[in-house]
Amino acid sequence: MKGIVPSLNTPFSKKGGLDHNSLAKLVEHTIKSGCNGMLGLAVAGEGQSLSFEEKIDFIEIVKHTNKKRIPFIVSISDLQNEYSIKLSKIAKKNNALGVCIHIDQNKKIHENLNLLKKISNVGPEIIMIQDLDWNGNGLSQNYILKLFDEIDKFRWLKIETKNAGPKYTKIKKITQNKLNVCGGWAVTQLLDALNRDVDAFIPTGLEYIYVKIYTLYKNGKFHDARNLFYELLPVINFSNQNIGISIKFFKIARVKENLFSSSYCRNIEAKFDKFQKKESTKMLNIVKKLTRNYINK
């Protein structure tokens, strides 16, 4: 699961229902773009807005489309404990390689350990813990080590905090590279992450371009990788203003790619004002140009 492992958007119809056909198209696109895995039902996929039954539908569509071609990780965050456990069992039944869950450091560690052990008993072979803290440093080193020592299936840590770069390095060092680390929201620091030998990166959208950057870097073409990343950076800076803007922008991009039938978002913050709408058009033109110049040669 090394490399680019995107967080899938969830496509909805114009009336707001789960769009099965568009989801199948997105899975095929993700595989064809050269990604080495995919994450579903996470924050970027508006996972909180889906009913439990819709989550099951999502997982089953990915299973039938993917056919085990690349690893699939299911986010089970933002659910009550009993539903996280149930969804873990469903994920395993539908060939998911792992589950991803956000851990709240404010909870007593024995509570989180009990939950993770229950998930381990019924879920797939990997537990990815999401260390998400929009404004702070996230889980402490000691907290992570305790979870790592106690939970055998805890093999991946998704770091989305302030100062993500140094944290990647520290965690890899203290676990002697036995715990895989990956990033997502800190995609503006992608080159820094690659320099630190991060195991995977979980952005949203732009799969062909991210895979191209990653491939150039791993082939020793550091200058070319850096130049392509710099050309993409204005797009990332625009989309990463906040999670709502990111969701809206990439939904529109999916329509432009003929993957989604609609850019409908359930997240009420996923909307543009007239200035953002104008700027998003310029950013989409950059994406189109980069795809044409670097990917479709």
Residue 105: what pLDDT?
80
Which positions ≥6 away from 142 have C-beta within 8 Å? none
Mean pLDDT for 281-286 is 97
Question: What is the number of other CB atoms lying within 10 angstroms of the CB of residue 148?
Answer: 18
* 220 SS3 class: coil
pLDDT on residue 294 = 74
* 297, pLDDT greater than 70: no
Q: pLDDT per residue over 172-222, tens digit each?
A: 999 999 999 999 888 999 999 999 999 999 999 999 999 999 999 999 999
SS3 244: helix
Q: How many CA atoms within 13 Å lie on the side-chain side of 292?
A: 6
Mean pLDDT within 119-126: 97
Confidence at residue 107, expressed as pLDDT on a 0 to 100 scale: 84
At 66-113, the pLDDT tens digits run 999 999 999 999 888 999 999 999 999 999 999 999 988 888 899 999
Torsion of CA 48, 53, 57, 62, to 10 degrees: 40
> In which band, very low, low, confident or very high, does the pLDDT at 296 lie, cut at 50, 70 and 90?
low
Of 133, 182, 176, 125, whose CA–CA distance to 154 is shortest? Answer: 125
The answer to whether residues 206 and 235 touch, using CB atoms and an 8 Å cutoff, is yes
pLDDT of res. 281: 97
Going along the chain from its start, the domains and CATH numbers come out as: 3-295 (3.20.20.70)
Residue 4 near residue 229, CB atoms below 8 Å:
no
Question: What is the percentage of the chain residues whose pLDDT exceeds 70?
Answer: 99
b/e per residue, 202-219, with b = 16+ CB within 10 A?
bbbbbbbbbbbbbebbee
